[in-house]
């Protein structure tokens, strides 16, 4: 009996260098493809999350304005959105900004009621400022000020 060679393997041990390189190349291609799919889906899901958070803030502030019979506001900045309420000395902005995760594009449809006020104002009668806000490729929300919030995906 010869030592060092297994009779079942016929003298072949392990994988050749070419076989290992082929496996590594295939895994590299698969990981690059998976990374591209995940990153593309991540952008869409992040902007969709921004749109959902905006809708939630809009509905909450509108309800608070109606129930509390006081003006509320929402400032839309490049970095995020910030809640506001009308105090005795003017608008009081919340200290924290809720940051956007994706690209957001805001445009007012009418001039602000007063300088330094929030971009979107919620009145006690349920009306709001007219505006349009886009969330990357996820969708767009708008309000004419009378009929509430309308959002469209994609």
Would you say 128 and 122 are in contact if contact means Cβ atoms under 8 Å apart? yes
Q: 5 lies in a domain?
A: no
Residues 6+ away with beta carbon under 8 Å from 59: 149
Domain hosting 140: range is: 17-153
Residue 137 — φ and ψ, nearest 5°?
Answer: -95, 0
Q: Write out pLDDT tens, residues 29-87.
A: 777 766 665 554 445 678 888 999 999 999 999 999 999 889 999 999 888 999 998 88
Q: Write out pLDDT tens, residues 88-100.
A: 888 999 989 999 9
Would you say 76 and 119 are in contact if contact means Cβ atoms under 8 Å apart? yes
Look up the CATH number of the domain holding residue 51. 3.55.40.10
Q: Write out pLDDT tens, residues 128-151.
A: 989 999 998 779 999 998 888 999
- The helix/strand count (H/E) of the chain reads as 1, 9
Q: 51 lies in a domain?
A: yes
Domain count for the chain: 1
- What is d(CA 1, CA 19) in angstroms, rounded to the nearest whole number? 30
Q: How far is CA 58 from CA 8, 51, 120, 136, in A?
A: 73, 10, 9, 19
């Amino acid at each position: 009996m010869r030592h060092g060679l297994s009779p079942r393997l016929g003298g072949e041990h392990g994988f050749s260098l070419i076989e290992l390189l082929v496996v590594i190349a295939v895994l590299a291609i698969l990981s690059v493809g998976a990374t591209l799919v995940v990153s593309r889906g991540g952008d869409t899901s992040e902007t969709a999350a921004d749109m959902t958070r905006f809708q939630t803030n809009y509905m909450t502030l509108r309800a608070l304005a109606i129930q509390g019979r006081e003006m509320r506001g929402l400032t839309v900045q490049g970095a995020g959105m910030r809640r506001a309420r009308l105090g005795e000395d003017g608008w009081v902005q919340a200290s924290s900004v809720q940051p956007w995760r994706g690209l957001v594009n805001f445009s007012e449809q009418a001039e602000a009621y007063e300088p330094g006020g929030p971009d979107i104002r919620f009145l006690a009668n349920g009306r709001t400022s007219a505006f349009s806000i886009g969330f990357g490729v996820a969708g767009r929300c708008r309000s004419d000020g009378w009929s509430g919030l309308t959002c469209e995906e994609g």
